A and B are shown apart, each in its own frame.
Chain A
Amino acid sequence: NAGVTQTPKFRILKIGQSMTLQCTQDMNHNYMYWYRQDPGMGLKLIYYSVGAGITDKGEVPNGYNVSRSTTEDFPLRLELAAPSQTSVYFCASSRQGAGAKNIQYFGAGTRLSVL
């Protein structure tokens, strides 16, 4: 049981390049999330999805896009990378909406640098 798997683990991008961060979970969870963590800061929610075909913005969605075509996969797209997007990105999933009764399971993170 792999849980939540993120790829790649590390990536360096040039300004203006695009890339997709991959996230897949094998727990048949309905909810999936993308967070970013900047140095010295807590995780901030970028986007989340409550099921296949349904996505919604979180606290910091600008500069990102997501899609959810299957229950398992929730890729995060950066179209025009900017230095402000240098961060560590975490994907998470939960059976239902994360909170008191539904804990989140996290991937190991993707460390992205935009130069």
Chain B
Amino acid sequence: AQSVTQLDSHVSVSEGTPVLLRCNYSSSYSPSLFWYVQHPNKGLQLLLKYTSAATLVKGINGFEAEFKKSETSFHLTKPSAHMSDAAEYFCVVSVRNNDMRFGAGTRLTVKP
């Protein structure tokens, strides 16, 4: 079985400081991993995905994530938070088509 655990339900940072959103996964097979973002009253939008190529994946809006097999982690980072980054973030694991397992989400708050 496959699953993801997002280790923080809520993260609060100040504008201009780094962002770290943590995700651990469990999978019997080589997984594909994704990060989605959801802004208030909007649909989920893909930030980035890992599909067994480079372990450091760059996404939109300055976000990136590193796949660490030894730690079964796929943490999302950004060097400097913007106010517009405030949103809900979801980590997702998939080992086959149509079987996407979502984490519970992390709400990011950015303080001025």
Query: Judging by beta carbons under 8 Å apart, are A48 and B101 in contact?
Result: no
Stretch at the interface among B11-19, B69-77, B78-86, B90-98: B90-98
The answer to whether A106 touches B44 (Cβ under 8 A) is yes
Chain B residues lying within 8 Å of A44, measured Cβ to Cβ, are: 102
Pairs A–B under 8 Å by Cβ, sample size 19: A3-B43, A4-B43, A33-B98, A42-B90, A42-B102, A42-B104, A42-B105, A43-B90, A92-B43, A96-B97, A97-B97, A98-B94, A99-B98, A99-B100, A102-B97, A103-B49, A106-B38, A106-B45, A107-B43
Residue A90 interfacial (CB < 8 Å): yes
Contact of A7 with B by CB under 8 A: no
Taking A45-B100, A98-B100 as contacts, is the C-beta distance between A40 and B9 under 8 angstroms?
yes
Query: How big is chain A's contact interface, by range?
Result: 20 to 34
Interface of B is mostly: strand
| Contact of A98 with B97 in the complex, beta carbons under 8 Å | yes
Q: How far is the CA of A103 from the CA of B94 in the complex (A)?
A: 11
Q: Name A's B-contacting residues (CB within 8 A).
A: 3-4, 9, 31, 33, 35, 37, 40-45, 48, 90, 92, 96-109
B51 to chain A, nearest CB (A): 4
Cross-chain contact B97 with A42 (CB below 8 angstroms): no
B46 CB within 8 Å of chain A: yes
Q: Give Cα A108–Cα B45 distance, bound, in whole angstroms.
A: 10
